Amino acid sequence: MKIAIIGTGNVGGALATNWSKKGHTINLGVQDVNNFKGVELMKNQNTTIFSINEAVAKSDVILIATPPTAIFEILEQMGDVSGKTIIDATNSVVKSPEPYKTVYHALADKTNAEIVKCFNTTGFENMLNPIYNGEAIDMFMAGERESAKSVALQLSTDAGFGSCIDFGKSDKVELLEKFALSWINLAIMQGHGRNLAFKVVRR
C-alpha cells in the first residue's frame, strides 16, 4: 500500500517503521520538509518526505497520529481525500476537536473518505514491538466502513499484531478512546509501566 503518515512522532514513527519493513510505500507528510520530528525515519526503506498535501495525493491510505486539535489545520492541507482510507489513531481524552467529540467525527463530517478508528489503544512501544512472551497482542478498531476496516486489519497484521478486533460502528469510537484511557490509567497513572498490553482470550 501507499501510506501517508501525518504525525511523525512516536506512534506514527513506530507504525511507519514496521510498515516499511513489510514493503509498504511510506509517504511522510509534514509541515516543513526541512525541519520535522522523526527525521530518523528517513533511514527506513521505502520512505520519502513530502508536504502533507503531496503525501496525501501520492497515497491510498492516510494515518493521522497527531494531537486531536490539529485536525482542522490538517484538513485544510490534505486536499481531496475522496475514496481514500483514513485511519484515525488520535485520542481526545484530554482535548477534543470542538465542536466534534473526536477526530473520527470531524473527518466523517468534513470528508468523503473511508474512515476507521484504529492504532489508538496502546503505547508506541507496543506499536513498535507488539510481541509479549512470543505471542502477538491485539489491536482494536471501530467505524462504519467495512472496506476501511479491511485495510486496518491488514495493516495491523503487517505491524505485527495478532488480531484487529472490531469494536463496532461509529457509535463505538468514543468507547474505543475510553479503552485507550484504560491503558493510560494502568500504564502511567497507576504506575504499572508502559510494557503492558491487552489481548482477548477465548475459552
Percent of the chain with pLDDT over 90: 99
User: Which residue ranges make up each domain of the chain?
Assistant: 2-189
Per-residue model confidence (pLDDT) at position 195: 96
Per-residue model confidence (pLDDT) at position 51: 97
Per-residue model confidence (pLDDT) at position 62: 98
Q: In this structure, are residues 61 and 85 in contact, taking their beta carbons and an 8 Å threshold?
A: yes
Per-residue model confidence (pLDDT) at position 57: 98
Q: Which CATH number fits domain 2-189: 3.55.50.30, 3.40.50.720, 3.40.50.1360, 3.30.300.130?
A: 3.40.50.720
Q: What is the mean pLDDT of residues 114-133?
A: 98
pLDDT band at 143 (very low <50, low <70, confident <90, very high): very high
Per-residue model confidence (pLDDT) at position 131: 98
Per-residue model confidence (pLDDT) at position 79: 95
Per-residue model confidence (pLDDT) at position 98: 96
Q: Please tell me what DSSP assigns to residue 171.
A: G
pLDDT band at 16 (very low <50, low <70, confident <90, very high): very high
User: Degrees (nearest 5) of the Cα angle 59, 102, 12?
Assistant: 40
What DSSP line would sit under 100-156, residue for residue? SSSHHHHHHHH--SEEEEES-SS-HHHHH--EETTEE-EEEEE-S-HHHHHHHHHHH
Give tens-digit pLDDT for 170-199. 999 999 999 999 999 999 999 999 999 999
pLDDT band at 76 (very low <50, low <70, confident <90, very high): very high
Q: Which of 25, 47, 59, 15 is nearest to 156 (CA)?
A: 15
Per-residue model confidence (pLDDT) at position 133: 96
The whole-chain average pLDDT of the chain stands at 97
Per-residue model confidence (pLDDT) at position 102: 98
Q: What is the mean pLDDT of residues 27-31?
A: 97
Q: Is the C-alpha dihedral spanning 11, 92, 99, 108 positive or negative?
A: positive
Give tens-digit pLDDT for 35-58. 899 999 999 999 999 999 999 999
Alpha carbon 71 to its chain centroid, in Å, reads 13
